[in-house]
Amino acid sequence: MKAPNVLFVMADQLAPHFTSTYGHPVVSTPNLDALAERGVRFDAAYCHSPLCAPARFSMMAGRSVSSIGAWDNAAELPASVPTIAHFLQMEGYRTVLSGKMHFVGPDQLHGFEERLTTDIYPADFAWTPNWSGAGDRIDKWYHNMDPLAEAGQAITTHQIDYDEEVGYTTRRKLLDLARDDDDRPFFMVASFIHPHDPYVARPEWWDRYGHDDIDLPDPIDPEALDAHSKRIRTGIEADTVGFTEAQTRKARHGYYANTSYVDHWLGQLVATLRETGQADSTVVVFTSDHGDMLGDRGLWYKMSFHERSARVPLVMAGPGVVNRTVPHVASHLDLAPTLLDIATDGAAWSYPVPDLEGRSLWPLATGGNDDVSETTGEYTAEMTSHPIFMIRRGDLKYIHCQTDPPLLYDVSADPLERTNLADDPSYADQAKAFADEVAKRWDSDAIRERVMASQRSRHAIYRATEQTEGVRSWDHLPANDVANNYVRNHQDVVDAALSSRLHVPPGMTR
């Protein structure tokens, strides 16, 4: 029996809290709702690292930041690290990527046979942080309060241009996959940039929301924040430039509108599966790389292990998937073994995959049980000078950084994480156990030295290449075989027309 196809749809900076699928009273995500209504919704899924490239690299490899050196948004994913795409290739899959994956370095495929678009972000080392000057303000490429001031409507932006291309090329490829002679199952990734800031939306999506209906985050005293949250506020200029209630409402309005825009593309792609007769043989997975604080705790964007930054939506539906919600803690690290189990229907994998750090979620997705409800996280990028580690186990989340007091939250009883239990006498045993586990699991000093050595090397390489003319860019250049597109002189016109035609599947109604 042929293994199922996999359509893997990814948003950027989408926290599950801001979708109707996960209960938001304002945001409308009907296509994600429909996916969850016929599939499984994971209610405690996390990214491994709350920043774009580290989140994606650890997800693709099924391995932690420190094990593959995925330190920050300018860290190279080594070509020697196998990814989900490699694993599925070995199981006989055709692997295709459309959209953002933020690969840094000369390898821009990492196991994908085809990559249909370039990336929206650069592939070089320009965005390397500097822990030697961790307290210095990063200019040019770093977040500040401008996206809040610029939030609103536009006919188009570079992000809209990009997502229109991602959506079009993905849909076109799904049509091609349905009408070509390659009978391998496919792993098709469609990775969009929205609802990532700067919170600018087209009018038709903006107008879906009444401006006065946009909810605002609960107020919090900035002086009561944890040390890392204060550093982030300084880094993004929230504590100096600041932002107003009006800007917050406008930014959230744009974010909600762009969330509905991404949801629209999810619907378009699922509809394409239906109209090509592939829906019943395709598992659809939806997630994001990380979330967005969106004003909670006076913070914006990501870079912290608080819920709205580190939690991600995770919904899947398709053959074999039951309809349920899953409360178990899970993460991006679990997706590689999960997809391998989808490819093999839970049987032995064709190749012994080394070093995967997650567990398969396929038993939970197909109606089984799992005694595990935990995951870990690592953050080694800007606005800190030492690694930050997270353990989520059951209802408790523990966050550790050598420079900061520890944080312990009961995220079930305290979903906004307003009460730090690390010094609460009634949680003394749990806090000590977590602290001991962090010390045993991670060598913070050694990891810090590796991070700083990598930063020094990458800064040197970038400075050198910046001064050298004619250095070949690592940015991906998509292939376009125009000599064989449409009708050409080496083809018969009728044959070209017939070979490109995809007939309506029997019994299908629109």
Residues sharing a CB contact under 8 Å with residue 283, sequence separation 6 or more, in sequence order:
4, 5, 6, 7, 316, 317, 318, 319, 320, 321, 342
Q: Specify the number of domains making up the chain.
A: 2
Q: Is the pLDDT of residue 467 over 90?
A: no
In a domain, 239, yes or no: yes
- Same domain? 291 vs 395: no
The share of the chain scoring above pLDDT 90, in percent, equals: 85
pLDDT, tens digit, for every residue of 414-432?
999 999 999 999 999 999 9
Contacts of 439 (CB under 8 A, 6+ apart): none
**Domain assignment of residue 241, yes or no:** yes
345, 309, 306, 313: which is closest to 331 by C-alpha? 313
In a domain, 113, yes or no: yes
Confidence band of 496 (pLDDT split at 50, 70, 90): low
In degrees rounded to 5, what are phi and psi of residue 231? -65, -40
- The pLDDT-based confidence of 231 (bands split at 50, 70, 90) is very high
Q: Are residues 307 and 428 in the same domain?
A: no
Say how many C-beta atoms besides its own lie within 10 A of residue 62's C-beta.
29
- In this prediction, residue 462 has a pLDDT band, given cuts at 50, 70 and 90, of very high
Q: Give the whole-angstrom CA distance, residue 411 versus residue 306.
A: 10
Q: Is residue 317 part of a domain?
A: yes
Indicate whether 75 belongs to any domain.
Answer: yes
The answer to whether residues 141 and 230 belong to one domain is yes
C-alpha–C-alpha distance, residues 27 and 197, integer Å = 17
Backbone phi, then psi, for 79, in 5-degree steps?
Answer: -65, -20
Q: Give yes or no for a contact between 49 and 379, defined as CB atoms under 8 angstroms apart.
A: yes
- What are the tens digits of pLDDT across the range 91-132? 999 999 999 999 999 999 999 999 999 999 999 999 999 998
Residue 32 and residue 149 in one domain: yes
Distance CA 246, CA 303 (A): 24
Does residue 77 share a domain with residue 174?
Answer: yes
Instruction: Identify which of 371, 384, 331, 370 has the alpha carbon closest to the alpha carbon of residue 71.
Output: 384
Rounded-to-integer distance, Cα 120 and Cα 485, Å? 26
The tens digit of pLDDT for each residue in 434-461 reads 999 999 999 999 999 999 999 999 999 9
Give the tens place of pLDDT for each residue, 319-342: 999 999 999 999 999 999 999 999
Percent of the chain with pLDDT over 70: 95
Q: Distance of CA 470 to CAs 381, 426, 474, Å? A: 30, 63, 12
Q: Give the DSSP H or E segment for 217.
A: none
On whether both 131 and 176 belong to a single domain, the answer is yes
For residue 488, tell me if it sits in a domain: yes
Burial of 234 (0-12, 13-18, 19+ CB in 10 A): middle
Domain termination site, one of 441, 461, 486: 441
Same structural domain for residues 182 and 290?
A: yes
Q: Which residues pair with 178 in a beta bridge?
A: none
Answer whether residue 308 is part of any domain.
yes
| Pair (131, 183) in one structural domain | yes
One domain, residues 367 and 421: no
Q: What pLDDT digit, counting tens, does each position of 360-404 carry?
A: 999 999 999 999 999 999 999 999 999 999 999 999 999 999 999
Type of residue at 279: A
Read off the CATH number of the domain in which 106 is found.
3.40.720.10
Cis bond before residue 82 (omega within 30° of 0):
no
Within-domain flag for 446: no
Mark whether 367 and 410 lie in a shared domain.
Answer: no
Is the pTM higher than 0.85? Answer: yes
The number of beta carbons lying within 10 Å of the beta carbon of residue 204 is 12
Q: What is the DSSP code (8-state) at residue 311?
A: B
Instruction: Report the alpha-carbon distance of residue 36 to residue 509 in Å, rounded.
Output: 23
Beta bridge partners of 377: 390
- Token pair for 382: 């800007």
Burial 369-407 (b: 16+ CB within 10 A, else e): eeeeeebbbbbbbbbbbbbbbbbbbeebbbbbbeebebb
Distance CA 6, CA 166 (A): 17
Rounded Cα distance, 97 and 120, in Å = 13
Judge whether residue 33 has pLDDT over 80: yes
pLDDT at 456: 97
Range of the domain at 366: 5-377+452-499
Structure-block tokens of residue 36: 């969850």
Active site residues: 52, 102
Helix (H) or strand (E) holding 262: helix 245-275
pLDDT of residue 139: 67
Q: Are residues 332 and 366 in the same domain?
A: yes
Work out the pLDDT band at 202, boundaries 50, 70, 90: very high
Note whether 79 and 214 are same-domain residues: yes
